[in-house]
Amino acid sequence: MRLFFFMAAAAAASAARAGDDLGFAAPFDAVAATGDRQVSPAWRAHGSAAVHRNFARLTPDRQSKAGALWSAESVGADQATLELTFRISGQGQHFFGDGLALWLSADRAFRAGAFHGADPRFAGVAVVADTFRNDEAAAAHRDLALVASGGGAADAAALLEGAAGCDASVRYHENRGDFSVDRSSRVRLAVAAGTATLAVDAANDGTWVECAAVALPPALDGAWLRRAHVGVTASTGQLADNHDVLALAVRTDGAPAAPAADAPAAAAAADAPVTAARLGAVEGRLDDLVRRLEHLQHHLEHEMVSVDDHVRVTLDKLARQEEQSEGRIDALEQRVVSNVEESLAKRVATLEQATRDAVQKRVASVETRYMSRLGDVVAEKVEGSGRGWTLPFVVLVLVDVVAFVLARGWYVRFKKSHLL
């Protein structure tokens, strides 16, 4: 009996640790076998998602992008608390979108779709941060929405219809003078005892506000959370923003989730010996310098990633413009050649016809003149005496033949010299 309880306790502890291992926080130094940086070996990146050292960017500030982070391991517990630290920012002042979503889904593998980058036909719970305000549905819009689905929804509109939620400013304008990479937001999703609750810390300053609570549908039985996988997705459409993930804390023991980044600092504070006031001040200054350095690294990486993305976009545009210019030049060249060839063909045809008409007219004139003269001579000779006209007649015929041959040769030479 003791062995049984020991094994059960060990299994429960192992499951809890499996869920807790799903958390991650910058710096992201893990590198996969493919050479790509990853937030954790327990996570996979999809679509346009790119993991950098200080943040994972699901989408750049560009149109028609979608990216995701999806856990390869399940939660493995009957209750879970997820705390996501993220930053949504961009260059747009009035027009931007579309948003970000945190998922607890029964889907083991990530499925791309139109609901903030994921398939809306899912079974589980999702937190949606929707930054695009549709004027046609402004009254029903919520900056944050809590959705629980048993898998029967056909599209995003069906999921969000009547969804619980609240308004919170979780989007930052990068061109504001007070923008900094320190700006971020947090949401906390807790699932336990058939209920899902959502809280938000919009400015990541420790001010938590209860946002929404929903009862889980009957399709989500008591064991679904053990099989559930965690995901974070984002997408852009005609409007765009940077959607960055900074940290995710996961707890399955019922305690509030603590960011993984806070654990080393807490351990260091606990192990620090009692020192003199001066040494304490020095340590405080060193800690401050380290924080400033980390902030500078984060800021530089944020800016360089944006610059790199803009350079890539500019180079792509230049390449497309170069291809278009080459196409236009080729089309113009073909048009010029076609026009020249057509003009030359018309001129050659006109000249050939004129030459043919002139030669035929001249030959006809010569033929008419000589035939007339031949007729006169024949008539004179016939009216004359005897057979003395035979020789002149033969001579005249020979002269006509020679004249015709000479005219024909002149026509051929003229045609070659003027047409070739």
Condensed to tens digits (0 to 9), the pLDDT of residues 252-265 reads 987 666 554 443 44
**Are 291 and 298 in contact, with CB atoms under 8 Å apart?**
no
Say which residue, 194 or 373, is predicted with more confidence.
194
Question: What's the DSSP call for residue 33?
Answer: T
**CATH of segment(s) 14-270:** 2.60.120.200
What is the Cα–Cα distance from 171 to 51, expressed in whole angstroms?
20
**Top mean-pLDDT range of 81-85, 140-144, 302-306, 340-344:** 81-85
- DSSP one-letter string for 162-194: T-EEE----EEETTSTT--TT--EEEEEEEETT
What would the pLDDT profile of 39-77 be if each residue is shown by its tens digit?
999 999 999 999 999 999 999 999 999 999 999 999 999
Range with top average pLDDT, 26-35, 81-90, 367-376:
81-90
Tell me, what DSSP letter sits at residue 143?
Answer: S
This prediction has a pTM of 0.64
Measure the CA–CA gap between 150 and 125, rounded to whole angstroms: 9
What pLDDT was estimated at residue 136? 56
SS3 call for 215 = strand
Delimit the domains of the chain by residue range: 14-270, 351-419
Measure the N-to-C terminal CA separation of the chain; round to a whole number of Å.
112
Neighbours of 208 (CB within 10 A): 15
Q: pLDDT tens, 78-117?
A: 999 999 999 999 988 888 988 999 999 999 999 999 899 9
**Structure confidence by residue, pLDDT tens digits, 207-226:** 999 999 999 998 898 789 99
DSSP H helical segments within 145-276, as ranges?
A: 156-160, 224-227, 262-271
- Going from the C-alpha of 318 to that of each of 60, 311, 314, 325, the distances in angstroms are 20, 10, 6, 10
Give the model's pLDDT for residue 50: 95
Contact 117, 235 (CB under 8 A): yes
pLDDT at 21 over 90: no
pLDDT value at residue 283:
79
**One-letter amino acid of 56:** A
| Cα 374 to Cα 397: distance, rounded to the nearest angstrom | 8
